[in-house]
Amino acid sequence: MILTRDEFEQKFNDKSLRIAFIGMSNIGKSHRSQQFSDKFGFEVYGVDDKMWDLQGFSDWEEASRWMGYPFDEQYEQTQKDYLEMEKNLTLKCSIDDKNIILDTTGSVIYLDEEVVDFIKNNFLVIALDASSSLLKIMKEEFFVKPKTIVWGDHFEIEDGEHGIDALRRCYPSLLEWRIAKYRDFADVIIPGEVSRSSDVPEDRFFEIIKNSLPKN
């Protein structure tokens, strides 16, 4: 749902501005969502948070143990269950008149057309993007603090290869595929160096989004 700058401002003032942040884990979606809640009064609908509540998870480590890795026996089923929960919870996000942020999971791009249409028709979709240099940092962050992740068809293990080694080999291609999908999905693309930067306060980040929109 692309907006002009004036429409963006008007909807914000009318408390009917709906934003969806998309992008990979650790790109700044939840951090910026919380900032907008604290600074501007946005209601945040965090899909990961809703899934945690539903499953009773207390932290990322617990959620990651449940999901497992793609070489684990239970992974195929938990990945399927995860995406079904994600779809149902995403569609439950209220679109009543209020300023709201839909804080999606990194796997939103795997969801079906019903969910994609719901988001595209009701939200200004903002992709928090990752450059090549940022990807190098994010690859290492993932293996230091693993998070639940949907691999889809982007994992294969070679004969004699250890599972974690296969993850490290396959992860870069997964990230590159995801980046392209996020960009295709988005109305606006904001560099991850901006969304992750502590030197860009929330009011400045708000203006960056608005100024990324077309003029009247």
State residue 146's pLDDT score.
63
Residues linked to residue 38 through DSSP beta bridges, in sequence order: none
Report pTM.
0.91
Residue with tokens 């499953």: 55
Interhelix angle for 5-13 vs 202-211, to 10°? Answer: 130
Burial class (CB in 10 A: 0-12, 13-18, 19+), 182: buried
Cα separation of 100 and 81, whole Å?
A: 27
pLDDT single digits (tens) 67-81: 888 989 889 999 999
Residues linked to residue 123 through DSSP beta bridges, in sequence order: none
Radius of gyration of the CA atoms of the chain, in A: 17
pLDDT single digits (tens) 29-65: 999 999 999 999 999 999 999 998 988 888 877 888 8
Domains, the chain, ranges and CATH? 5-211 (3.40.50.300)
Residues linked to residue 19 through DSSP beta bridges, in sequence order: 101, 124
Strand 18-22 with 43-46, pairing: unpaired
